[in-house]
A and B are shown apart, each in its own frame.
Chain A
């Protein structure tokens, strides 16, 4: 494999170039209600070339080998144009060069499991969800996805690594009269098919929530102190904070960049945040990123102070900060961008009961339902919640969307629980989809969250 790619690389007249060839295998099965909607296994492949020339950095992607020459011509020309127009020359931070062939340690390789068995397991979980007269529909999908990556650079890197992701995820829809509710359910991981087996209880629990939500009251819009569960802590950490730890996001936002200076006290002293793609067995695991840099654990926030940032080689040089190995692509269609791996808020010391007592009155919000940010403002949904009165969990509430300002919210984290959980499934769409985006943390209390009710 490397020999053919080397030949292509040799044709590029540039200061630096790399090529990534990827084979992608996808198995997918989907049920809609009791109806099997799709099933199949597919293979596709393609190339990405990046070129640095005269201070300009450009990328091309193509699927047919015969298009390589034209693609290279475009990449070199574009790099030259960018170089001539930019005020500052683009450079890549120096990194250690690796030659490695890394295969992940899979407890059970999903590619060796027959598709009929995958279908059976999916069907079983789907039937669990459907087995109630108030459940009107489900969308339940199985997927396994492998990226077999070959990376070569003119600096001598020669790396191959496989990333295999497996998951079952879906939505359960319940209905009573005019009220329709839906809840998400999912299991999965990056270390094998065993994550999929024996997970009936997850779907049983979520079905019950979908049914209970029919009798819950819509939450009243307003400002509340809230306990959020690890799933929501993860989404907050990822959406509201994590994206602004990505150097490529803030590099062109001068105002944001001023606020996100290393050393700035941004959060309450209770907040510690880490991104660590090296955590074995976790969804966001990888050894090398898509520019051949070895991944490492990065402390992003320490006692509320910003102490680290996620970088590509380009942004690390531009910011004059250490390279972190966080540059990842969705697949062969994309040049890599700065991404989170496993990001989490570090647990503290409070038990869940302590948190309830401390909250006294407010809301207990659980499980994420999508999130989005624009600058310092974020919005994300919670699948369900409860009113808390005098430190006791009371009635269930629904239709919950939370909105806030990153800096105010980081300062408003008033207590951090001692439990810890990371997500099993991800899906971060920063221009490209990252199925291995993983986040989590403990239960925490955030004061003064804006909750939009209907």
Chain B
């Protein structure tokens, strides 16, 4: 990397080099059979150059030819993409506990054994269709820049999940467990899956109308996607957020508090600096319903004339391959403050409603506006505090700027869902349409 820096410095005012090495082993276990056992190892390096207020970018997987990589970045620089910001000098960052070397002790055999155990717990002696996934990965990342930053970190990450497939569909009820190294997935989580499945097996066809909707962590992407669109500094700059002039205004229910929480190293993947070397901070995006802050990266902080928030990450809408992506504003460590209602309490509060375990179509519709209109994958119908069964042929629709004003209660447990570490959220007056 240093040699590459020396070559690049000759051609540019500022240089940043980002490199990552990743190893991933994953096992997918369907019903009682190990289906896929895959191993991936990849490396990559990307470079950003700033010259005369313009920025260039290039990447490669194999650094065979340093000059070629610099040349690609210079060609990209010629396009004239503006960059008003400087790469930062970041020193004395907080040491976080992100790596356990026990991750290396996870053998393929151990993974198979754990997947078998998970399957046994939820399969009801083979009666249920099940999916268990066990995944172990580690990665190391380094960023150096011409301002003098030299930042490196190493992570280990382990996760396991157990799902029961609803008969006749591909939708499922499941829970995920994460850790920094191997640990048995707690039986409590697996029992939750089994109990909820057993109560929801029978199909029902509820009438539509306005009712309560319980967004489980596995469907949180529905509102989080729209909320993160609304709170993004990039969308503020582009003028496509309804929150543009709403800082310090109450926009949601006071039951909702949302953190950007990158330095919390109880969870895997904690970060003390982002993917462009800015120190990260834990802060509130939403505090008791009050909108507090737009998140941004170096580029949008400059454009909006404010301090960078340490949210410049190389991730795309569908994840993606870090080295091929430029840093963009991203909340990669989102956490919602848990409440004090147990799952049982939440159900008992539902006179009539839908438990949304998963959704279809979270990515379509008018996201900047906050609108959502999603199919159920699955949705479970509740009446008078009792689970009646899986709801057939319904859709849940609304606008998060209404729905999240109407939070009735927040669950007392956080789970990993798509997009964050979140509790179940019970909202009222949500529109449910059916056949």
Q: Which chain A residues have a beta carbon within 8 Å of chain B's beta carbons?
A: 26, 29, 32-33, 35-46, 58-65, 67, 70-71, 74-75, 77-78, 81-82, 85-87, 115, 119, 136-137, 173, 175, 178-182, 221-223, 249, 252-256, 259, 333, 335, 369-381, 399, 401, 403-405, 429, 433, 448, 450-454
Contact = CB atoms under 8 A, between A and B. Distances in A.
A180 B42 contact: no
Nearest to B169: A375
Interface in B74-122: 75-76, 79-82, 108-109, 112
A144 to B, nearest CB: 15
Contacts of B362: 372
Given A64-B62, A85-B34, A86-B34, A180 B369 contact: yes
Most B-side CB within 10 Å, residue of A78, A82, A175, A377:
A377
19 contacts: A29-B79, A39-B81, A40-B56, A63-B62, A74-B108, A81-B109, A223-B435, A253-B169, A370-B363, A371-B364, A372-B360, A373-B170, A374-B377, A377-B393, A379-B361, A429-B318, A450-B394, A452-B373, A453-B433
B281 interface: no
A85 B30 CA distance: 12
Given A38-B326, A60-B38, A180-B366, A372 B43 contact: no
B75 to A, nearest CB: 7
Which of the four size classes fits the interface of chain B? Answer: 35 or more
B347 interface: no
A253 B129 contact: yes
B25 to A, nearest CB: 8
Given A38-B81, A401-B373, A81 B360 contact: no
Contacts, number: 260
B38 A58 contact: yes
Contacts of B59: 42, 44
A379 B360 contact: yes
B242 interface: yes
Contacts of B373: 381, 399, 401, 452-454
Nearest to A368: B364
Given A40-B79, A41-B76, A377-B377, A182 B368 contact: yes
Given A38-B81, A62-B40, A375 B168 contact: yes
A35 B76 CA distance: 15
Interface string B320-354: 01001010000000000000000000000000000
B371 A454 contact: yes
Contacts of B62: 44-45, 63-65
Given A42-B58, A42-B324, A81-B112, A404 B361 contact: no
Contacts of B321: 333
B361 A380 contact: yes
B360 A173 contact: no
B433 A452 contact: yes
Contacts of A41: 72, 75-76
Nearest to B32: A87
B11 interface: no
A178 B402 CA distance: 14
A32 B57 contact: no
Contacts of B131: 252
Nearest to A398: B366
Contacts of B33: 85-87
B149 to A, nearest CB: 23
A451 B365 CA distance: 13
A375 B170 contact: yes
A379 B41 contact: no
Given A375-B166, A379-B361, A71 B39 contact: yes
Contacts of B61: 44-46, 63-64
A78 B108 contact: yes
A175 B244 CA distance: 14
A389 B34 CA distance: 54
Contacts of A45: 61-62
B44 interface: yes
A40 B42 contact: no
Contacts of A70: 41
B374 interface: yes
B81 A37 contact: yes
Contact of A401 (B79, B166, B318, B361): B361
A233 B316 CA distance: 28
Interface string B290-322: 000000000000000000000000000010010
B365 A62 contact: no
A87 B35 CA distance: 11
Contacts of B365: 369-370, 381, 399, 401
B60 to A, nearest CB: 6
Nearest to A48: B40
A36 B79 contact: yes
A372 B373 CA distance: 12
Given A373-B360, A403-B360, A254 B129 contact: yes
B118 to A, nearest CB: 15
B209 to A, nearest CB: 10
A379 B61 CA distance: 37
B356 interface: no
Contact of A115 (B35, B75, B171, B377): B75
A99 to B, nearest CB: 27
Contact of B397 (A44, A335, A371, A453): A453
A293 B1 CA distance: 41
A256 B76 CA distance: 49
Nearest to A60: B39
Given A60-B38, A74-B39, A381-B365, 9 more contacts: A58-B36, A64-B61, A81-B34, A253-B129, A255-B168, A370-B365, A371-B361, A381-B373, A399-B373
B240 interface: yes
A376 B395 contact: no
Interface in B166-197: 166-171
Most A-side CB within 10 Å, residue of B32, B58, B361:
B361
A404 B42 CA distance: 40
Contacts of A179: 369
